Every structure is written in structure tokens, then in C-alpha cells.
A and B are shown apart, each in its own frame.
Chain A
Amino acid sequence: MKKINYCLIEGKSVAFFAGIAVSVVLILLGLFAAYNMEHHGHIISGMDNQIVWGIPHVFAIFLILAASGVLNVASISSVFRKIFYSPLARLSALLAITLLVGGLIVLVLDLGRPDRLIVAMTSYNFKSIFAWNIILYNGFIVICLIYLWFMMERRMQKYYPTVGLIAFIWRLILTTGTGSIFGFLVAREAYHTALMPPLFIALSLSLGLAVFLIVLLLDCFETHCPLEEGILHRPKSLLGVFIAVVFYFVMVYHLAHLYFTGRHGVEYFILAGGGIHTILFWGGYIFLGTILPLLLLYHERFTKSHASIAAAALLTIFGGFALLYVIIIGGQAYPIEIFPGMEVISSGFFDMPVNGLAGHPYMPSIWEFMLGLSGIGITALLTLVAVKILPFMPCSLADVSLDPDLKD
């Protein structure tokens, strides 16, 4: 088998420094937002006592899902022995760590008391899936670090598939935990379903691979590393499969809800009368995030161009973001049914539709976007610094330099 050579990126180009600068600015803006939300309280955000989780949570969960999904590339090579993906395994494990760190920092900075992080780390209620997730997230970072070490250290190569298997199983449990945050909520009709964990796993696969493809394209653009159809063909086709799997789970979720008479209200809200939620579901998730990328990935006219692969990956990310918005915010905007069979005619606290709107209004503030985007800034900065100081990237991904053995 041909030896794969890994290179540092040169890191002297304008694009590299621009990337660093933009990441640092995003992080500083996020820290400023966190300071203000801490100082003035969450009153400066658009979140309230009805929409308790807002845009920062959409960003955070997006990053956490992408983190577990992006590791899939490494898993395919080490767990499923598709060595074709081996050259990309290091980058995959690196992104898993940086994306998760970005997501977790957003989540922590949004807490009412981020200064009590030490309490969250030391005082556990083991019946809470949130507490389990704290352990799962921290464990995932440690496992990925060991995985990376074993990949890079020749003496540890023989243990590398074992760690790969552990990381793969851990990531499945982790995303099950993330989905269960919502699936375990008996109170809200939109969430309370065991379909949440598999839906989140499917979404993590598509988001993770989309993020991976974009980073790969960006990196090869920056380092002028030749990247050709041979190496791009498979992940590109796989992305299409993942997009379809997410669509399948979304469809089953809505069909099941539409079957239950008691959930017709919330279904009508999401699919037809929910304003921004309905628009984001059909326009954002279904059209831009599912139909269009599938067309770009599979239609003969587009399928071979780097630009259309990049566009498909970006659209998948946008679609996933829209879907998460609809799930997280839409699920809270729809009023909780406390009195089945009754119509709420007056309430001191928004138990009925507000101002004739189907759901509770939510207008995210600029602070929330600043906080959410800082997660992406953290991920970008950590990734850029890492590929500059350690060899994560194969020197060439051109078809000619690919080992024929890698082509299965």
C-alpha cells in the first residue's frame, strides 16, 4: 500500500490570515454578547419565558450534531475498513473536536449563570439526560484526541481500529443523548417522540459530511492541493444518501403526528399556519436544504463541478439549520396544551395564541446571533491553528497520487 504523506498548510496566504482575523472578530463579538447578557440579564435577548431556548441553542445544537457527524469519515475508514477514506481521517477527527468545542462554548455562554460551570461539572443528577450529555461530550473530546494520537503515532497504529470503533459507538450514544434532550420532554407535543434520537443521528451525518466537504474544498483551494473526482466522488454520493435519510425521518415524524388527532394542532402550526416556521420548513428545509442539493449532487449537468458540490454542501447546512430552527423554536412557539378540550380565553401568561398569531412570537436579538456565530469562529480558529501546526491534511488528493489500493 502506498504511503500517504501528510503536510502542514503553509499558512502565509492572505486567505489564511483573513480566516484567522474573521474568526477572532467573531469570537470577540461573541464574548462581548455573553458579557452583556450576563451583565444586563437575558432581557436583552429575544428569548423569554415562553421561548426559553433561542438562536444560540440552534447554533450550538447544529455544531454539536455536525461534530458527531463529521467523525463519520474517519469511522468509515477505520470501522468499516473502507480505506479509501483513510487519507481524510485525521481532518475528520480534528473537526469533530473543534466543532464540539465551538458548540459547547455557545451553550455554556448562554447559561443564566455561566460562572457556575464548575457546578455543572461536579454536581450531577443522573436521571437527567443533560447531565449524561455533559459526560458524553467531554468523553467524546478525550476519545477523539486519543484517536488522533493513534492515527498520527506509528507505534500506536495497531490500536487505531479499536479506538475508531469506540469513537464510533460513543458518537452514536452521544447523538442519541442530544436527540433525547427533546425526545424526553413529555410536556411539548412537537418533541415528545422516540424518533428524535434517530432523526438527530441522521441529521448529524448529513451536516457533518457537508461541513467536512466544505472544509476539504476550502483547504485544498488554499493549499492548491489537487483534489479530483476520484476522492470527491464517494463522499459526494454519500451526502446525497444522508440528505435522503434525514428526509425519511422527517417524513415519518410528521406522518405519525398527522395520524394522532391530538397532534393535528401542532402539525397544522408547523406545516401550514406557523408563519416563519412554515416558511423555513418548506422553503428552507424541503426546497433549499433537500431538493436542491439532491439535484446538484445527482444531476449529470452539475455533479462533476466543485462549485456545485460546495453549493450542495452549503445548502445542506442551511437546510439543517432551518430544520433545527423549526424543531427547537417551533416546538416552543406552539402553546402547551394544559387543558385538553378547553379553549383558553384569557391568561396572564400567553397560554393562548398571541395577537392572532398561531404561535408565540420570537424575534432573536443581535446579541444572540453574535453568541451563536462565535461558536463557528471558535471552530474555525481552532481548525486553522491545528492544520498549521500539525500535519492533518494529505499533501495531495489528486487522482494520480491516490493509491490504487484505496479505490477498494
Chain B
Amino acid sequence: MNEENSSTQSRRAFLKNSAIVAGVTVAPGVLLYSVSQAKPSGDAVSSKVRWGMLIDTTKCTDDCNECVTACTNEHGLTEDVPANVKPQWIRKIGLRDKQTSKEYSLPMMCQHCENPPCVDVCPTGASFKRDDGIVLVDRHICIGCRYCMMACPYKARSFVHETLEHQKPHSPRGKGTVEGCTLCAYRIDNDQEPACVEACAKKGHQAMLFGDLNDANSEIAKKLKEVTSSALRPDLRLNPGVRYQGL
């Protein structure tokens, strides 16, 4: 009987210890797995989302260049070259209505069209649109023909005319290839806003609103429903992801 008891106890102890060892071994894996699931960076982007921007021209001031500076710093667009060959990811434009003389100021960048002409004309498919609406250039297969620059109605792309230095690891570029606003795709994938939007807000202008156009509950979707906004060159029916308010 005693013998039976002691063997039962040792079996229990063995099972207990085994459970502890197994727990200690497996738990971190399970924990890490759940952590990795929290940031699905490896997941493909979804067409359920369409990233877009609403720019309020009434809040954008002509003496402010914060969005351009932020973009320059974020992507390392700092090469010292003449203005006509400088990278052009975002620029400020001042406008005057020919009829009424009312003046406007706004930032201009890739409009991330739903039907982008740059993607249509690219011979190799280097110019492409992500499922979430961001229009990008695959620098591995861009041959530098510049046909996309000819095709873009917004002059939103530029060509790397010179040898690059001080590149940012998160925003690789390439001499002899075409580039343009990426909407800071890597920031978006990490749940951050594009650098220009963040800089505009930090400056206190709040002229740039970024978000998911497809999500009816997002701030941008609600605002677009509420205010009058317009696309640039709507006659071309490209359905840009960037909209302008007050223009």
C-alpha cells in the first residue's frame, strides 16, 4: 500500500514537473507568437482599405513649408543639386483665381489615383498601385525611361539625376530610377501617419487629414461627407486619393 502511495506521488511529481518544464519551454513561444500577431507586418495589404488625404486649403498658409521640410528630412531628399533636378515628392503651390483674384496655398504631391496613368504607361510594371491605394515605384525593375513622368498630370514624379548619399534605410532610392511620394507607406504599415501630415499638425495648422477613405467611421470619411471637397483635374476621372477642401 505504502509502496503504491509513494509511486503515485512520484508519478504526480513527475507530471507536475513535466508540466512546469513544458510550460516554461512553450510559453515564450506562444507569447512571442501573440506579439507577432499584434503587428501583422508580414501580411499583404488589403483592398478593404483605401488610404487618402484631405487637404484644407483654408488652413494652409503660404509662408509655411513644414510639410516639405518634413518630407525632405524623412526621406533624406537632401542632395545639393539645382532646383530643376531636385527630387520633387511634395511641393507648395500658390494659386490665384483668374476671375475673382482669391488666393490659395496648398501642398501638391502624388495624388495616389485609383486609375493612375503612370501605372498604365510603365512598360515593365515598375509603377504599381498597392491594394490599399498607395501608388509606388518598384525601384528594382524601374528602367528609368521616365514615361511615367510624361504621363502624370500632376507632375508628381521626379528622376534621380545624380549619385545619392546619406540614404535613409527605411526609404531606399536609386540613381537612374523614378521616384515620388510614397505616402510614407512604411509609417502607415506601422500605424503612423505620413510625415507631412504629422508636421502640419505639429505646426498647429491641421490642414492635412489622413485616413482610410473606405472606413465610414474614420475621421476623413466623416469629414469628406460633411464638407465640399474636390479632386484635381476631375475631368480626367482618375479618382485621386488626395482631395482638396476650399479650392
Contact = CB atoms under 8 A, between A and B. Distances in A.
A113 interface: yes
Contact of A111 (B108, B144, B155): B144
A345 interface: yes
A386 B157 CA distance: 43
B234 to A, nearest CB: 10
A282 B142 CA distance: 38
Contact of B175 (A41, A120, A181, A346): A41
A185 B236 CA distance: 11
B interface, by DSSP: helix, strand, loop or mixed? loop
B192 to A, nearest CB: 25
A355 interface: no
Contacts of B160: 41, 112
Interface string A246-267: 0000000000000000000000
Interface string B78-116: 000111111010011111111100011000100000000
A42 to B, nearest CB: 5
Contacts of A339: 93, 95, 232
A43 B94 CA distance: 28
B209 interface: no
A302 to B, nearest CB: 41
B72 to A, nearest CB: 11
Nearest to B128: A125
Q: Which of A129, A186, A187 has the most CB of B within 10 A?
A: A187
Interface stretch (A8-16, A47-55, A228-236, A392-400): A47-55
DSSP class of A's interface residues: helix, strand, loop or mixed?
A: loop
Given A130-B121, A185-B151, A338-B233, A50 B84 contact: yes
Contact of A125 (B108, B122, B149, B155): B122
B205 to A, nearest CB: 17
A343 to B, nearest CB: 5
Interface in B144-198: 144-147, 149-155, 158-163, 174-178
A343 B155 contact: no
A166 to B, nearest CB: 25
B146 A52 contact: yes
Interface string B212-233: 0000000000000000000011
Interface of A: 38, 40-43, 48-50, 52-53, 111-114, 116-117, 119-120, 123-125, 127-131, 134, 181, 184-188, 332, 336, 338-351
16 contacts: A48-B84, A49-B84, A49-B85, A49-B158, A112-B160, A116-B144, A119-B124, A119-B141, A128-B147, A185-B121, A186-B153, A186-B236, A339-B93, A345-B103, A349-B88, A349-B91
Given A124-B123, A342-B97, 6 more contacts: A112-B145, A114-B143, A125-B119, A187-B151, A187-B153, A348-B91
